[in-house]
Amino acid sequence: MIVAAFAGFCLLAGVVDLSIGSMLGLSAAVCASLMSQGWPLAAAAAVTLLVCLAFGAVNAVAVVVFGADTIAATLGMLVALRGVIYILCEPIGAITAFDADFFAFTNTTYGPFSILFILGLVLIGIAAVIVTRSRIGRHVQAVGGDDRAALRAGISVTRVRFAALLLSALGAGIGGILYVGQLGSTSNVSGTGLEFQVYAAMMIGGYSILRGGVGNPIGAALGLLVVAGTANILDVQAISPYFANIIVGLLLLAAVLLDRLRGGDAFE
Residues contributing to the site for other proteins (CB under 8 A)? 1-4, 24, 109, 111-117, 119-120, 175, 178-179, 182, 194, 197-198, 201, 204-206, 215-216, 218-219, 221-233, 235-237, 251, 255, 258-259, 262
User: Closest distance between other proteins and the C-beta of residue 107, in Å?
Assistant: 8
Residue placing its CB nearer to other proteins in the complex, 41 or 64: 41
How many other CB atoms sit within 10 Å of the CB of residue 25?
Answer: 30
Q: Which is nearer to other proteins, 54 or 239 (CB)?
A: 239
Cβ atoms 67, 147 nearer than 8 A: no
For the CB of residue 235, give the shortest distance to other proteins in the complex, in Å.
8
CA distance 251 to 248: 5
Separation CA 175–CA 191 (nearest Å): 10
| Residue 144 or 175 with smaller CB distance to other proteins | 175
Residue closest to 122 by CA, chosen among 138, 110, 140, 135: 110
Query: CA torsion 225→227→231→232, rounded to 10°?
Result: 10
Shortest separation between residue 255's beta carbon and other proteins, angstroms? 8
In DSSP terms, 182 is beta-bridged to none
Min CB(151)–other proteins separation in Å = 27
Phi, psi of 153 (to 5 degrees): -80, 0
- Give the closest residue to 131 by CA, choosing from 199, 213, 223: 213
Cβ at position 215, least distance to other proteins in Å: 8
Name the residue nearer to other proteins (CB basis): 133 or 262. Answer: 262
Q: How many residues are present in the chain?
A: 268
Using alpha carbons only, how large is the chain's radius of gyration in Å?
19
Nearer to other proteins, 95 or 251 (CB): 251
Kindly tell me which of 4 and 130 has the beta carbon lying closer to other proteins: 4
Q: What minimum distance in Å lies between the beta carbon of 240 and other proteins?
A: 15
